[in-house]
Structures are given as C-alpha cells and as structure tokens.
Amino acid sequence: MSRISNDVRVKIINYIMENKNVRARDLGVTLNLISMIRSGKRRVTEDLLCRAMAYLSSDELAKLLGELPELEPATVNDIIKVVVRARADPAFRELLLSYLDRYLGEYIRSVGRQWVVTKEDIDAYIKAMRLKGIKEKTLRDRLHYIQRALSEMNWVLSPEGIRDYLASIIEEESPHVVRHITVSLKSFIKNTLQAKDPGLFAILYNSFRTIKPKNHGKVKLPTIEELKQILQRIESIETKTYFLILAETGLRPSEPFLVSMDDIDLEHGMLRIGKVEETKRSFIAFLRPETIDFIKNQYLPYRDRFLSMIVKGMEAAEWSRNYVDNLKQRFLPFDQGRLRREIKDSARHVLGREFELYELRKFFATWMISRGVPESIVNTLQGRAPPTEYRVLIEHYWSPRHEELRQWYLRHAPCLLC
C-alpha cells in the first residue's frame, strides 16, 4: 500500500467518483478535503485509499494499479488456511510476514503497542508480589489502584491510553492519589510484562512517569474557533463524531465507547452512559441539534456500511459470533487508539503543541460556567454530582429533571457545527 504513489491514489479517487457516483461522504470525508485532494493540495491517506478501493472490482483495481495482482474475495477460512500453512512452512511464513510488513505494517505495529490485560495477568502480579515479600496491605492498595485504572482504560494498556487517563485524573484527583496510581501501574507493568514481552514492556513502562502534579493548570485551553479548526482538519467521519461528542458534552475520553445503540435517544438528543465507579459517575449526556443531524445523516449511514464490510464473511464462523454481536451493539465500533491519534494529529497542526483529550472536558466546564450555568448543573452533566442526584436519572427514563438539564444544555453548550 505504501508503494502506491499519490498520483495513482488520486487516479483511483477520480475513477470511483466519476464512474461509480461515489460521493465524499460515502468515503467518510468532507467535500472540501476531496476537492483539495483532486487539485493536488492534499495527499490521499492510506485509510482513505482503503475505503476508495472497496468500491472497485478486482478487474478495475488491476487495471488502475497494473503491477499488483488481481484481488479475489477472501473469507475467514482463507485466513485460517494461510495461518496453518505459515506455521508449517518456514519459507511461506517468511513470504507472508514480508507481505504483512509491506501492506499492513502500520496496523500490526499499532496492535503491538497495546496490551489487553486478563485475570491471569492480575493473578501473576499477585504471585510475583507475594514472592517478593510485599505486605498484604500494600498489595491490596496497589491492586485497588491498578484495577481502578484498568477499568477506566477498558483493560487495555497503550501509551496513548495511559497518558490520556493520567491527564484526566490529574484534573480530578489529589496529588496523593495520582502518585499512588502511577506507582502501582509501573509496578504492575514491570512485574507482569517485563519477562513476557520485553519490547512491549519498554514501550508502556517508559510512556509515563511517576506523577507529582504541579502547575497542571498552566496549559492554555483551546478556543471554540481552534476546536472548529481541529474538527475541520479531521478526515474521518467516525473521528469527527467522537471529537464532537467530547467537545460538546464534556464526557471523559473513554465514556463515548461505553455507549451502545440502545443507549442512543436521538428524539431527546440524549446519550445514556450508565457508568458508576467509586469516584466517577456518569449517567446522561445531551447532544446539540446540529450534532444530531450530523449523526443521523453522515455518521450512522457510514457506521452501517463499515459494519457490513467488517462482518461480511465473519458471521458464519462460530468463534466470531460473540465478537460480531458485540461490535454491532457499540455506538462507536472503531479502534479507540486510532481515533485518539487522529484527533491529536489534527490538534497538533492547529495548536502547535501536544494536545490531551481531557482538555476538552475542562473546556466544556469552563465554557458553561463562564456563560452563567450553575456549577451544580455542570457537575451533574459531567458526572461529578453525589449519588442522590442520580436517583431520579436512574429510576426514570425521562423526567422534569432530565428536561431541566437538557434546557440548560441547549441554551449554553458549545457548538462546533454552528
């Protein structure tokens, strides 16, 4: 894929738009970006190229690319056959690995930078700590902070996910708690992952430091105009949707990924989060009318096309049914790490500095309070109110309290599509 020149990529874009009646939004990008690509002002990314190639037959692709072999439809059974032969045939394995590195290297390396933590990993950590003679109280405390952090990060550790999580707790927790969380995470990574995967251990362990929060309020928050510029630079529809939700609701970066399709109420413009933890509670978030229209007209149709493409050929495999069913239920069935990276890349161009997603939560709170919204309302919308506040929100699907919160939100919430 990386060897396909930009001229050929533009040729593919022009072909499908002129001969297949494919529109910009069918590709998950804006008309403005397509115009810039076709005029030579912007490059065609590999992600966009993959989406464009999905509209081509094998004959059309062979004709456009020339030097590449024709593509044939592949099934899950084909993948299994290739893997089985690669395990048995060293020469074939080397060939397969060279092709994977050439055409899917970026995706494989991305997967290699994350660790899906299991119960067995927790058990291994407990055993390692007891062999070192750690006191039981110390071990209980560390497990408390480790499991709390893992729960917030959906039990997946990656450099980006860890940094975003730590940026969030710096804003909400005391320096004492932040230090305990970072010390516990480093202990867990070192004592569980170092021997098993030294390379991934080094990546994760060195991606953060033991934090003693100081001067964390000095970063100047982005303005509404800068956020609009960031939104405009983001190419994919799914990342635009994620960014809009974070900026216009003030949710924590991981919370939109907790939302299922059953949790979406576009009639009332509401997302039901249903998250309760020891220090974090989020039950509802509201959406602006402009964002609802964007979700209805652009995001949901694209999501349906994406899912149909992903699950095609997988549903017949017994082992994949639970995965497919889970994917279909998720409102954002996309890789969280990729969406975060796309936002940060776009923000870096606009702001000229590194950007943390948690700044959007702080931006929302600052924006609302500066416009006269009572702090108690902002706290409820952002999941910082006491449990008694949520009793009405839990026990009733819609109530006068819901409507009151919604009206405060609609009158004062920031709008990136206005």
For the segment 202-246, what is each residue's pLDDT rounded down to a tens digit?
999 999 988 765 544 566 899 999 999 999 999 999 999 999 999
Q: What is the pLDDT of residue 56?
A: 77
Distance from the Cα of residue 415 to its chain's centroid: 21
Q: What is the pLDDT of residue 69?
A: 46
Q: What is the pLDDT of residue 97?
A: 76
Written as six digits, the tokens of 312 are 């095609």
Beta strand 264-265 with 270-276 is: antiparallel
Q: What is the pLDDT of residue 49?
A: 86
Written as six digits, the tokens of 321 are 């049914």
Where do we find the tokens 């299994």? 80
Query: Residue ranges of the chain with pLDDT lower than 50?
Result: 67-71, 215-216, 278-279, 392
Q: What is the pLDDT of residue 310?
A: 73
Q: pTM of whole model > 0.85?
A: no
Amino acid letter for position 197: D
Q: What is the pLDDT of residue 222?
A: 95
Q: What is the pLDDT of residue 71?
A: 46
Residue 253 half-sphere exposure toward CB, CA atoms < 13 A: 29
Written as six digits, the tokens of 232 are 């405009």
